[in-house]
Structure 1
Amino acid sequence: MGRLLTTRELGRTTLARQLLLERAAVPVVPAVHTLFGLNAQGPNLPYLALWSRLAPFAVPDLTAAITDGRLVRSTLIRATQHLMTASDFALLRPLLGPLLRRVQRNAFGKRTQGVDLDVLMSDARELLADGQVLTRPQLGRLLAERHPGTDATALGWTVQYLVPLIHPAPSGTWNVYGATPFALPASHREPTVDDAAEVVRRYLAAFGPATIADARAWSGISGLREVFAAMRPELRTYTDESGRELFDVPDAELTDPDAPAPVRFLPEFDAPLLAFADRTRVMTDAVRAEVCNGAAVAATVLVDGTVAATWELREAVLTVRPFRPLPVGARQEIEAEGARLHTFLSPDAAERDVRVLYP
């Protein structure tokens, strides 16, 4: 194993790779490629994630990239909605097939019992051929006509998990809510061993150094131990403070643990909060229990590189709720960054208020 990396050094390195130490002056598509995707459970989450990472950032730039297909939204990592470059979607989605089949079986196996899933997938592709776009309820009803006596809702969800699909614009763009549309991607291919190795490289470049368990927690992909074993000669290795072996791509830099970490507001489900089995590089276990509540992951505030608070915007008031006493000057920095975020979220508001409560 390589040299010991402290939790603080790991945290600073992760924040640097996630563009959270300094806002980057790069276009949205290269940024999403560098970050290896953004959570898109809600339409505004990728916009908020990039607002905290890029300077300048403009809503129309991201909307244009989604609309013209350079970025695509789909059911991907951990069976949740993510926004990725079209090329990364083509790389990653085939490898997630086993995970998504397990999710379908656990959630809808009983309700689709007796349905030939291969025929169902073929029917769905036929209904979505030639650029056809259908919402999940629409597709489910059409499939139920071909499979009498079945649950249309279960069929729609089953197809979402089993068939590589994208959700075309305006779905996933700023403030657009409602039924999710389905469409077939431009192309799809079967996964290869080289694809799995490339996903590991990309994960480590975006989040490393990290353990095998971290990579598995981020992706939900099984069989990664064998992939890492085959890649060992090309990877750097380190040890964390608990004695676990960490891996990294050979050309990636580590960040000075004393590098300044400015206050950053992160949206719900932001990647650094979910990309590891051991998340202590970004938050303590006690804070994690507060932030990650069941399937929900709160919007958070980073202070000195770790999660120090949650935030929410309601009726023109942006409220920050700290978990711990704040360092000298942090309250003013939170208020200033919160005011900028409030302006981004509510550009036409007549009044804006940022309230930082006491822990």
Structure 2
Amino acid sequence: MSNSRPLHRGALIASLTLAVVLLAGCQGSGGTSSSREGYFTWVDDQGRVQHSRIIREPEPETEDPRPDPEHPSPSASDENAEFNLENYPDGNELERRGYVRPGEPQPYFTWQDADGNIRTSYYQPDTRSDVEKGRIKPPVQLTPASIYQRSDSPDPVVEREGGDPDAFAILGVETAGDSFLERWAENCCEDFGRGNVEGWHSDREFGLTVDDSSPVHSFITGHSHYRLVRIPAGAGRRDFIMRLRSFAREGMFVPSVAFLDATMKPVRIVTDLVADYVPETWHRRGYLESFIPVFPGHGERWMVIFTRDEDLRGQTVIEDKRGPRAIKHSRQGELGLAEIRER
């Protein structure tokens, strides 16, 4: 026969109270609990006090988002952070490659064929510029040339005492009263008759013919046929770029251009033009092409197109499907003039 007896109701309440006190004491005691574990006390059906260990999952540690200056992050000390062409390639070179780094796969796109299969196709990015694609026109490049221009400075260039005149000539330093423009203007162009004048056409390219019927003048650069062209002027007239073409036909007329003011005095001379040769096609002859700025807003009212003796002694060598070929320079020729405006 068992000696156990059911607990009296008062004893049971006392036991439960003791359990609560013991639970609070165990959880609050530093010796029997911690922030990660503890105990709870309970009474079984026999009235015995039991203790069970509480096992909790470890809480994740909160990282400080602020960097510690004394402990740099691994990425900052990683060898991949070195400044080299592999990790930091040249931007222009990377753009030419379509922003595909060496060793990386080519970009691709996926598509579905007629049978419903998914296909992958690799492609090379189009790295051409908008100019190369023909979307926009390239900017006009002025033709290199020798330019002699009237100075707006009231003080002339004075000769330096003890200077070497040959050295001044090499450096382009001219003595007062002896500049090329002033010497060229001594016999040009106040006496030019204005009967044979070509008007300017802003809306289209127009042609000029230099032949035996053209006026002749003895410039300091040589005896030459010339053509006189009126530059458009007026309120709000802007400066522009002139495209000058000289077509090849039994020779080539190599032009130089002098710009005159309203009194027919030279203000600027453009010569030694390094013109580009555009080869002939089945519907057009080859030609030399130059781009020259014109400044009506700065007083330029006339232009004189002529050639020099030293140009007549030269020749233009071209390369075509028949091989290299020389085109002799001539006193006569056909020209095309057009107004080009930058937008």
| TM-score range for the pair, normalised by the shorter chain length | under 0.3
Q: TM-score, normalised by structure 1?
A: 0.19
Higher helix share: 1
Q: TM-score, normalised by structure 2?
A: 0.20
Higher strand share: 2
Say which structure, 1 or 2, has more relative contact order (CA 8 Å, 6+ apart): 1
